[in-house]
Structure 1
Amino acid sequence: MTQTPPVDDTTDGDATLETTLETPLAERVEAILLIVDEPIALVALAASVHAPVPAVRQVLEALVEDYDGRGRGPRRGFELREVGGGWRLYVREDHDDLVADFIGGQAPARLSQAALETLAVIAYKQPVTRGQVASIRAVNVDSVVRTLLARGLITELFADSETGAINYGTSDQLLQHLGINSIDELPPISPLLDDGADGFEEGMIR
């Protein structure tokens, strides 16, 4: 009696993974993931790449396996994680210190005016999202927020459970630089502002 040779499930799985990653859809998904500063929801990601949600989900799962080295290639120095209902690329925790040292070494000794203004908004409005800071300053603050994070002056507090937006606050390192014990010791900002200045609305001013 002729026996049917066993099926190599691992080979089939690798072939499926490779096929998924070689599609133009995978390239479009990666392109969006590379530029987002906050986790992007699956539905929003699917809309941005003009593809069905199930297809995008399949690509995300394949990318996770590929970056983690569960496909045919090595593990990458970054990973794709689902956080707060959205997807975003992150440096692997193993390399956090390395990246922080590199960015810190590239950072200028003094903060720019834009960085100081953004830091002030975060200090007085925290917890606050990047979008809220941008609305108050009326400019894009993506690069400035990255600089403040790299300098250790602000920190990610939590992700909004509905939108996935990261809420930022000041760090203990900033308090040490300012010589204060808590943000409650920050000077009142109201006397320093003209009426209606810079988008600080009632309820935002200490």
Structure 2
Amino acid sequence: MKEAPVQALIGAALLAAGRPVTVRELSGVLNLAEDAALRAVEAFAAQVRLVGLGFEVEAVAGGYRLVVPPGLASQLAPLLAPPPLPVLSGAALEVLAVIAYRQPVTRVEIEAMRGGSAGTVVTLQERELVKVVGRSDAVGQPLLYGTTERFLLEFGLTSLEDLPPLEPGRFAHLLRS
């Protein structure tokens, strides 16, 4: 059996995985060093853009995936999956922001920073945006929360470093001292 060309393998891997594929994973599939695999996936992305195939390569959550360009999504609405879950409430977004910027963080810390309940943590866990990442050394060893890969996917982030900077003074209490 003849070995498939690198570009074909990249396209097939990104399509078949159904999730972001890391450069490390691609280097294993392609039998290339990671820097060569990165160059190959970037070349594949450029070729896809140039040809205009109706999809594009997106870097997200530490990997690469195939997506429908936003300009085509509305025309494909009848074929797409059901609408996303309802929009998060303001309280849930506040709790999610505290977790994203301050992780790992306990529920008590979240409540202290918000000045209110952190009950929406359960909703965020159900939507797989946050997860338990450990236990604190504090009395009672409370649970520590952090964000998930799905959080990165849903917000279009490659990593937590892509979070926008906090406005000086306005949310300074979220930062660790």
TM-score by length of 1: 0.41
For the pair shown, which has the larger CA radius of gyration, 1 or 2?
Answer: 1
